[in-house]
């Protein structure tokens, strides 16, 4: 009753921000992402009949408090859905800076969903695994997939899951680390304030749906420039929304990197910026152009 699983971080090109159902973690809109190969989480789950509660270790630290509660809530759901009568020892390692807007919760809950079910001998298909990971953290639904993934917003636990779509082979992401410290307001808290701003919420849903369709079309016709511009536009839209609703993740350095990226485009480089719930900026580019632009970002 012990299994180890690994899942990689994904970076959204069309972001998930806001929920239509908090209990089940159903998003306001569909989203689309790209799973990276460098950053990942490795998690071991062992069910132990003698335990009277779950034990959680992250990066060799025994975890209590809010972080533990979130994992406990997830494990309670796994036990409930799959009739598992045991508590578990969970040991997790992040090969990615935690809570710095590099979406470590995406790889964390995807690895946990996989380890927690396989440790009990279950073999869930990708769709069910993705829905389960989503319950832990929305973006984790997409980390069950390799490459490009669409998370269908759905309307209940079963229908809200991510699946792989065909994308580009030569796309890469350059992560500009502005700050590795844990962020002050986590994405869950920050996105939930949207409920008190119905006018912003409606506008966000409308614009996201349009950009989501543009992105799908751009990927289908393999238009890299349109993918990049659409991703950057949507990331900026999300950060505008976050600021309008009382939070800020971007710093002056983040903004300088975004400006540098826009300037590099005027010089003919195909580089685009995207930012999540943290100050770090990810640059979307083609693999073969990394060597031409990397020195500008150092
Ligand atoms: O999965 P969460 O609750 O950590 O939310 C992720 C939110 C963003 O990273 C900002 C956007 C996204 O779609 O990944």
Q: What is the pLDDT of residues 180-211, one digit of tens each?
A: 666 678 898 999 999 999 999 999 999 999 99
Contacts of 189 (CB under 8 A, 6+ apart): none
Cα 246 to Cα 34, 113, 178, 189: the distances in Å are 28, 33, 21, 11
Q: Which numbered atom of ligand 1 lies nearest the CA of 139? A: 1
* Ligand 1 in reach of 107 Cβ (< 6 A): no
CA 172 – CA 273 distance, rounded (Å): 12
Cα(131) to ligand 1 centroid in Å equals 15
CA 166 – CA 155 distance, rounded (Å): 24
Pocket test for ligand 1, best of 34, 187, 281 (most atoms within 8 A of CB): 187
Cα(11) to ligand 1 centroid in Å equals 9
* Ligand 1 in reach of 276 Cβ (< 6 A): yes
- Residue 246 burial (CB count, 10 A): 11
Residue with tokens 């917003």: 153
* Ligand 1 in reach of 29 Cβ (< 6 A): no
Note down pLDDT in tens along the chain; length 298 residues: 999 999 999 999 999 999 999 999 999 999 999 999 889 999 999 999 999 999 999 999 999 999 999 999 999 999 999 999 999 999 999 987 655 556 578 999 999 999 999 999 999 999 999 999 999 999 999 999 999 999 999 999 999 999 999 999 999 999 998 876 666 788 989 999 999 999 999 999 999 999 999 999 999 999 999 999 999 999 999 999 999 999 999 999 999 999 999 999 999 999 999 999 989 999 999 999 999 999 999 8
Determine contact, residues 93/104, Cβ cutoff 8 Å: no
Q: What's the pLDDT score for residue 101?
A: 53
Q: What's the pLDDT score for residue 99?
A: 52
Cα(17) to ligand 1 centroid in Å equals 7
Burial of 206 (0-12, 13-18, 19+ CB in 10 A): exposed
* Ligand 1 in reach of 249 Cβ (< 6 A): no
* Ligand 1 in reach of 136 Cβ (< 6 A): no
CA 99 – CA 277 distance, rounded (Å): 8
Pocket test for ligand 1, best of 112, 277, 281 (most atoms within 8 A of CB): 277
């Amino acid at each position: 009753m012990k299994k180890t699983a690994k899942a990689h971080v994904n970076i959204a090109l069309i972001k998930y921000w806001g929920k239509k159902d908090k209990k089940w973690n159903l998003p306001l809109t569909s989203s689309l992402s790209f799973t990276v190969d460098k950053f990942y989480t490795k998690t071991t789950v062992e069910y132990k009949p003698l335990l009277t509660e779950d034990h959680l270790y992250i990066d060799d630290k025994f975890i209590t408090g809010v972080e533990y509660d979130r994992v406990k809530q997830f494990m309670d759901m796994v036990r409930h859905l799959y009739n598992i009568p045991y508590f578990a020892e969970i040991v997790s390692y992040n090969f990615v800076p935690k809570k710095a807007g590099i979406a470590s919760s995406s790889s964390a809950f995807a690895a946990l969903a996989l380890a927690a079910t396989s440790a009990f001998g279950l073999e869930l298909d990708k769709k069910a695994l993705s829905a389960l990971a989503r319950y832990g953290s929305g973006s984790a639904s997409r980390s069950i997939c390799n490459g490009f993934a669409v998370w269908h917003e759905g309307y209940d636990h079963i229908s809200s899951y991510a699946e792989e779509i065909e994308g580009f082979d030569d796309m890469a992401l350059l992560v500009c680390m502005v700050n590795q410290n844990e962020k002050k307001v986590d994405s869950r808290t920050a996105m939930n304030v949207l409920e008190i701003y119905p006018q912003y919420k409606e506008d966000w849903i409308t614009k996201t749906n349009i950009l989501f369709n543009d992105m799908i079309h751009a990927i289908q016709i393999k238009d890299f420039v349109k993918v990049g511009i659409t991703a950057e536009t949507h990331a900026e839209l999300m950060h505008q929304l976050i600021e309008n609703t009382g939070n800020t993740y971007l710093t002056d350095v983040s903004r300088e990197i975004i400006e540098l990226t826009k300037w590099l485009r005027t010089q003919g480089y195909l580089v685009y910026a995207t930012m999540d719930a943290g100050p770090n900026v990810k640059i979307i580019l083609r693999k073969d152009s990394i060597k031409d632009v990397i020195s500008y970002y150092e």
